[in-house]
Chains A and B, each alone.
Chain A
Amino acid sequence: MPEIKLTNVAKRFGKFVAVDNLNLDIESNAFITLLGPSGCGKTTTLRMIAGLETPTEGSISIDGVTVVDADKGINLPPNKRDVGFLFQNYALWPHMTVYQNIAFGLENLKWDKKKIRDRVQELLKMLRIEQFETRYPSELSGGQQQRVAIARTLAPGPKVLFMDEPLSNLDAKLRMEMRAELKRLHKDTDSTFVYVTHDQLEAMTLSTRVCIMENGILQQYAPPLEMYNSPANLFVADFMGNPAMNFVDGKASVTGQTAEVTFGSLHGTFHADYPIDLKGQECVVGIRPEFVHITDGEGPEATVYSTLPSGMETTVRLDKGGTGITAVVFGGVDYPADSKVHFTFSGRAILFDRAQNGKNVAEGRLELK
């Protein structure tokens, strides 16, 4: 149950900067998600920790042992780091049976035959794939291949488990199922998990902490709910949550902890919990869709643009004088398009500063006028 420490890690491919000055502490037994759009450097980060890629700068330690240090010239090969790696396309060896796939790594560790057989049986049972022991990967479905890949990764009992978008090749239903299995696996194996994904829902539901990256730069590192409620900036706020947060450009005049805000065709007073650090007037108001309430007569009027009922909840897209606002209503309600409704805000809103690259400068209550 080791902790992993990244210090000033950078990776450059020629002039292209994949990861820049990354500092990260992964506490032992955590389930960490590296989240971000494709090309943000999350996979590169994972591969550097695993030893499949060498950082250009900085150092990484696992369980107190420095595994790589660009300045000291230390670079332990992956197999000396006691890690497991689950690949996106499983990377099962097509010419070996399920049993051979799982046992191959153990044979290299010079385990004796009986011990290998017992361990493979244990894993086959644990992942409920006993009946496929003698099959080849091509004879298995995607979900079964995934289980074999997990078994192979777990076989040597690694202290740290890395996963690179392991669920992205599965269909929606299977993905849900495997998420639950992975979370259970995390508890059962007592290891540290580092997980790469571009799916914010996966990050939200699985991890103890999320590390969100953009263009190789760490944006925020926090537990998922904290990240959802207090995103560090516009990028994080936009990335976390589905349907996405409402953003409306506006102007604000600040007096201490309150601000008068004009956004879209709306006006309101923002009551923050602490002094607002807005440089200039340009700001973006962010409101989560679940905090937009559709009412019968209270609040300003808007036109229904479209309604997307999904049974358990309904996403309603409203048009207020050219500004689009998304609301989520519990239960299946079908508002006819082009009908008139009213809406109010409740809960918390966030003020982002345009002048500071969309930094979160205030959280609090927004009262509409």
Chain B
Amino acid sequence: MQQTNAKGFQTRRLLGRVRAWFSKPANVILLLFLVALTVLTLYPLLSMLTETVTIHTGREARAAQLSAGSIAMYHFQRLFATSENDYSWIQFYQPFLNTLLVSVAASVIAILFGGIVAFLVTRTDLKYKKFISGVFTFPYIMPSWTLALFWETFFKNVNIGLKTSNGIMASVFGIYMPEWFVYGAFPIALVLGLHYAPFAYILIGGILRNMDANLEEAATILKTPRIRIIWRITLPIVKPAMLSTFLLVFASSMSAYSVPVFLGSPVRYYVLSTKMKSLMDSYPGQAYIIVGVMILFGVAILLLNQKVTNSRKQFTTVTGKSGQISKIHLNRANRPVAILLVIILLLVAVVPLITFALESVIIKAGDYSLSNMTLDFWIGRDLDKRLDQGDSTGILLNPKVWNALGYSLGLAATCAIVAGTCGILVGYGVAKRRGSKLASLVNSLSFFPYLMPSLAFGAIYLSMSSQLPWLRGFALLALVGSVKYLPFASRSGVNAMLQLSGEIEEAAVITGVPWWKRMVRVIFPIQKSSFLSGYLLPMVSCMRELSLFVLLVPTSNTILTTMLMQYSEKGWAQFGNAINLLIIVVVLLVNFTVNKLTGASIDKGVGG
């Protein structure tokens, strides 16, 4: 009797605890996301791991002399330890070293360029600051292949690479650049470095801007020379941000696909991502091992980054007390430095657009005279009667293009809404239950898709969708896009929620405001711009995404980016350039409209 009483007592107690736990929305959200993210990220990971030990049909089965579907360590042995014909060296070790080289170089370039500009903009009286800081994020907003494509079309000539035609440099100026300059490690690292320099600019600039001026003023009072202050005070304080940037750029460069494809493949310069793609068709097992290696690298970087950002806390020196930062006077150097920067930025951000525009109107490649120009590729009709290849109408009159644009926009908007909303919810849950194991687990899981190379992510979901008949077409693309871009949204969601003191919500709890109303009426309006940035980043990224969707689209005409790829594969360069320009313009337009209307900006979502 007494025992049953005690038992009932225990159960009631337990029930009460469970009910209390579930009465907190943050707990419910975290639990839901734990389940969803486990299915959506860990399951693909596991299925990928099984692929690395499965013998696939076709060439793989024949080469391994094993029956298709059997389990073996053959791929590992083949990829890592085959000395015959230098197979391992060519297929893995060489691309691996190339990846390291390119990624490190890109990180250094990004930090130097972004960091120096961040310093000049925040700490000196540089001229044209507004223009410089406005245009600086352009390269990141534009698709990453933009610069690569520009580099190739600008510098290519008939002596190198595929030896097809001359670019502007050769045909207009008569200068034939050497191969190392146009293709391979140097341009890949440079282009990636420039593309990710905005990371450095945003992260380092953020610290410099918020840094308490007292820290430097204290040194000034102690009669420290300016240069010594920068070296001994300013640099150590931004060091963690620099390290963070390094890791972020490294991880991003490592999984970049389109840049090495444009600037490496023509001269058979491979990195892990391009090697993976080329192996995927014939030896998928080995391709998946490469994906695994890249993910391992990514995880190591994530852990390192977490360590860095945790110890960074001791450096967050924002007191908000003294806002008056004494700006360094550049004096006579001011104008030359400013003009140099403006020229570089024009080259990086504006000239590519002009080049694409130019390339989209010339009839015969390499001839930039006015007589060789036409708007036919944009607005022409019945082109097939006049040209030997290409579509029959210009892209602006082509319903296929408009359909693809609509599909792309719809997809981007869907991904943005799903990822952005989930990002806010994750941010809410993580911030509310900060410090708990559940919160940090969900936080890490939500960041995990960032580490999955897009191409591999797409490949895994493709194989997943073959088992799920309802997961097709738009639904599949939207799901993949939402999961892949969740990290951006959850980053900005977590950051925004952490800035918000818990009391703001509790003040509404006390008066009995229901949870959804607290979110909609109190929390969202206060952090509106940060949250909207969480929507903007997935939107922009999705619009210009190629490698994630390339394996998943029903037809190449489905979205703009795959259409672009199809055109360049067919060699319809003018159509390709025109669509490329269209994509860039749409992306920039979306970005600036949202930015002007809501104040949300890409800056707020990057890094963290």
Contact = CB atoms under 8 A, between A and B. Distances in A.
Interface of A: 50, 52, 54, 69-75, 77-80, 83-85, 87-89, 91-95, 104-106, 108-109, 152-153, 156
Contacts of A89: 501, 503
Interface in B483-517: 501, 503-504, 506-514, 517
Contacts of A71: 9, 12-13, 16
Interface stretch (B17-25, B174-182, B466-474): B17-25
A357 B169 CA distance: 87
B513 A93 contact: no
Nearest to A164: B503
Given A87-B503, A89-B503, A79 B511 contact: yes
B336 interface: no
Contacts, number: 87
Contacts of A72: 12-13, 16
Q: Which 6 A-B pairs have the closest CB atoms?
A: A73-B16, A79-B512, A105-B511, A91-B503, A87-B503, A91-B507
A70 B13 contact: yes
Contacts of B15: 73
A58 to B, nearest CB: 12
B525 interface: yes
Given A73-B12, A88-B503, A79 B19 contact: no
Query: Which of A69, A80, A91, A95: most chain B CB closer than 10 A?
Result: A91
A104 B511 contact: yes
Interface string B82-97: 0000000000000000
Contacts of B23: 75, 77
B495 to A, nearest CB: 17
Interface in B19-57: 19-20, 23
Query: Which of B19, B511, B517, B521: most chain A CB closer than 10 A?
Result: B511
B526 interface: yes
A109 B501 contact: no
Contacts of B511: 79, 104-106, 108-109, 156
B16 A104 contact: no
B16 A74 contact: yes
A156 B9 CA distance: 37
A91 B504 contact: yes
A49 B501 CA distance: 20
B522 A93 contact: yes
B500 to A, nearest CB: 10
A81 to B, nearest CB: 9
A338 to B, nearest CB: 35
Nearest to A156: B511
20 contacts: A54-B20, A72-B13, A73-B12, A73-B14, A77-B23, A79-B510, A79-B513, A84-B510, A87-B506, A89-B503, A91-B501, A91-B503, A91-B507, A93-B522, A95-B525, A104-B511, A105-B508, A106-B511, A109-B511, A156-B511
A81 B513 CA distance: 14
Contact of B506 (A52, A80, A106, A152): A52
Query: Which of B507, B513, B517: most chain A CB closer than 10 A?
Result: B507
A95 B17 CA distance: 36
A30 B512 CA distance: 25
Contacts of A105: 508, 510-513
Contacts of A153: 510
Given A70-B13, A72-B16, A77-B23, A152 B526 contact: no
Given A87-B503, A89-B501, A95-B525, A78 B509 contact: yes
Given A73-B12, A75-B23, A85-B506, 18 more contacts: A50-B510, A52-B506, A70-B17, A71-B12, A71-B13, A72-B16, A73-B17, A73-B19, A73-B20, A77-B512, A79-B510, A87-B507, A93-B507, A104-B508, A104-B511, A105-B512, A109-B512, A153-B510
Contacts of B522: 93
A94 B524 CA distance: 12
A105 B23 CA distance: 21
A40 B21 CA distance: 25
B529 to A, nearest CB: 12
A75 B513 contact: no
A83 B16 CA distance: 22
B517 A85 contact: no
A108 B512 contact: yes
B525 A85 contact: no
A109 B511 CA distance: 8
A59 to B, nearest CB: 11
B527 to A, nearest CB: 10
A107 to B, nearest CB: 9
Interface in B322-345: none
A77 B509 CA distance: 9
Interface in B522-569: 522, 525-526
Nearest to B522: A93
Contacts of B503: 87-89, 91
Contacts of A52: 506, 509-510
Given A71-B9, A91-B503, A95-B525, A83 B510 contact: yes
Contacts of A91: 501, 503-504, 506-507
